Amino acid sequence: MIYREMNYQNMKRNPQISHERVVKSMRKFSLRVQVAKSFFIMTFLGSFLCWVAFISSGLGLSLIFTLSLVFSQIYPAQNIAISASSRVFEPLRYLPVRFSERMLVVFFIDSINILAFATPTIAVLMVKNLYFGLYSLLWIIAAILLGYSMVFLYYALFGVKVRSGFSKSVLAGILFFAVLVFALRRFQEIPDLTPYLTPHLLLLSYAASSATIKLSTGRVWRSILNPEIVEVKGSSRLSSGSPLRAMLIKDFRLILRKNALFPLIVPLVIVMPNVVSIANMPNLSIFIITTISTLSTIDLRIIGNLENVDFLRMLPLSKRGFVMSKACLIFVISFAASLPAGSIAFIVSQNPFYLFMAFAIPAIVSMLSSLIIFWQKGEEIYFPEVGFLKWIGLLLVNFGAVYAVLSPRFILSQPVADIISSVLTLLAMTALFEKLRRI
């Protein structure tokens, strides 16, 4: 009930979500369905890392332990900040429940996602050695508790601060997290951590984490109920520009200022660390760019949850301009993340084809995704609900389209294959752009 109330208060206090949408979402809300869906998604993402456990059980445990420790700090930090800024616990004072710090247990529901992310690697370790797999599972739980205890201790000591706008510290946090993930990509050069993960240290970790969470929960609870409001200094000014530019700025501000910042950098966090391998295998850049571009379509789901379509219909904005702005949003995000991969491949191989693909693949994916989502006829601005299954189908269609134009590279020799693929790519981009203009 508390978790549902938290979701309801978050959505109700979001000025970009209409009341009808809030009511509709809450009617369909189910904790079991929500947890099951998140568990499946995180297990799917975690399966991309389980191959490390096949190579080395020690490295598999070390990698998943480190990532679990990182994720277990992100989830509670985000939830605490959201709860404080949205005052989600205040209405619970009037419900027939005990209003105390015990309500913070809802923050631990998201730890199931972290456990799901580690499940494929743990399964591989159990198949190789049941005892070591169970021992690894205990260490993953210890990593989750350790991450939560660190976040609780931080907020207990320094309090919860709510900022009135987007600050430089948020940008610094994004950059720090990106650098951290890049460092994890070099994990093969770090010694195996399993010799240091002893049973005595495991027991000490459980004891220390549990004690820290127990002692800091009260102060964290009081900080959430009475957060410190920090005004972010800045200036705003009016300027003239095209509707497309205005919509792009609006979408980026929505993502940055709402509870959707982390999914914005999902392509960067999951895929970008692999660009280090491109120096040895330039062809890998094609797969990386394609994956980055297709994963960037998740931002359409984010905007769909934040968009106030009724308000946009009151503006002098055409459906074509609206759809073009969404296509440009996906393109800008995916192109910015793909450019380093294409640039490294170009520098290593001296083949401009990779640099061209860093531009062309995001363009194809962004236009194709927008056409599929907004295919209905009519001039009325709308934003269809992009559910999980529809989003998975969208990913598969994008992968198929990209590899269709790249098919000559699988059957022909160089440089003929690159020339034909480039021509097919240009034709596909032209056709999609013309179709998008007439939508």
> Averaged over 179-195, what is the pLDDT?
58
Tell me the pLDDT tens digit for each residue of 103-120. Answer: 788 788 888 889 999 999
CA 377 from centre of chain: 31
Contact 225, 159 (CB under 8 A): no
Residues 6+ apart with CB under 8 A from 257: 165, 166
Q: Residue 341 pLDDT > 70, yes or no? A: yes
Q: Higher pLDDT residue, 424 or 188? A: 424
pLDDT the model gives residue 33: 79
Look up residue 381 and give its amino acid. Answer: I
State pLDDT tens for residues 255-288.
665 444 555 555 555 555 566 667 778 888 888 8
Least confident of 40-49, 161-170, 243-252, 360-369: 161-170
pLDDT tens per residue across span 367-390? 998 888 887 766 777 666 666 677
Cβ-based neighbour number of residue 140 at 10 Å: 23
**pLDDT at residue 166 tops 70:** no
Give the pLDDT of residue 338.
Answer: 84
pLDDT of residue 109: 83
64 close to 122: Cβ distance less than 8 angstroms = yes
Burial call 306-340: b when 16+ CB within 10 Å, e when fewer: bbbeeeeeeeebebbbbbbbbbbbbbbbbbebbbb
Residue 146 has pLDDT above 90, yes or no: yes
Q: Would you put residue 255 in left (φ > 0), alpha (ψ -120 to 50) or beta? A: alpha
pLDDT recorded at residue 421? 92
pLDDT value, residue 259: 45
Q: What percent of the chain has pLDDT over 70?
A: 69
Which structure tokens are listed for 379? 């001039």
Inter-residue contact 246 to 328 (CB < 8 Å): no
Q: Which of 204-213, 373-382, 423-432 has the lowest mean pLDDT?
A: 373-382
Q: What is the pLDDT of residues 16-56, one digit of tens each?
A: 455 666 666 667 667 777 788 888 888 988 888 788 888 88
The more confidently predicted of residues 57 and 9 is 57
Pair of tokens at residue 14 = 């979001």
Mean predicted confidence (pLDDT) in 79-99: 73
| pLDDT for the residue numbered 15 | 44
329, two tokens: 């949003």
Report the distance separating Cα 14 and Cα 146, nearest Å. 32
Taking a C-beta distance cutoff of 8 angstroms, is the pair 156, 84 a contact? no
Tokens representing residue 26 in the block: 């809450």
- The strand pair at 228-230 and 161-163 is best described as parallel
Residues 325, 248 contacting (CB under 8 angstroms): yes
Q: Which of 220, 216, 73, 44 is nearest to 146 (CA)?
A: 73
Domain limits of the chain? 2-230, 243-437
pLDDT above 90: percentage of residues in the chain? 19
Q: Determine how many CB atoms are found less than 10 A away from the CB of residue 163.
A: 16
Taking residue 139's Cβ as centre, other Cβ atoms within 10 Å add up to 23
Which amino acid is residue 38, in one-letter code?
S
CB atoms under 10 Å from CB of 45, counted, come to: 15
Read off the pLDDT of each residue in 305-322 and give the average, rounded to a whole number: 70
**How many residues in the chain?**
439
User: Residue range 89-112: average pLDDT?
Assistant: 77
CA distance 3 to 88: 10
Which contiguous run of DSSP H or E holds residue 162?
strand 161-163
What is the C-alpha to C-alpha distance for residues 184 and 313, in angstroms, rounded to an integer?
46
pLDDT number for residue 123: 93
Token pair belonging to 117: 């992310």
- Please state the rounded mean pLDDT for residues 174-203: 65
Closest C-alpha among 76, 146, 85 to residue 106: 76
User: What tokens were used for 283?
Assistant: 């062809």
The pLDDT value given to residue 141: 94
For residue 188, the model assigns a pLDDT of 47
Q: Maximum Cα–Cα distance for the chain, whole Å? A: 72
d(CA 329, CA 293): 11
For residue range 69-86, list pLDDT tens digits in order: 888 888 888 778 777 776
**DSSP class of 66:** H
**Count of CB atoms situated within 10 Å of the CB of 160:** 21
> Which one has a higher pLDDT value, 190 or 46?
46
Which has the minimum average pLDDT: 65-74, 131-140, 239-248?
239-248
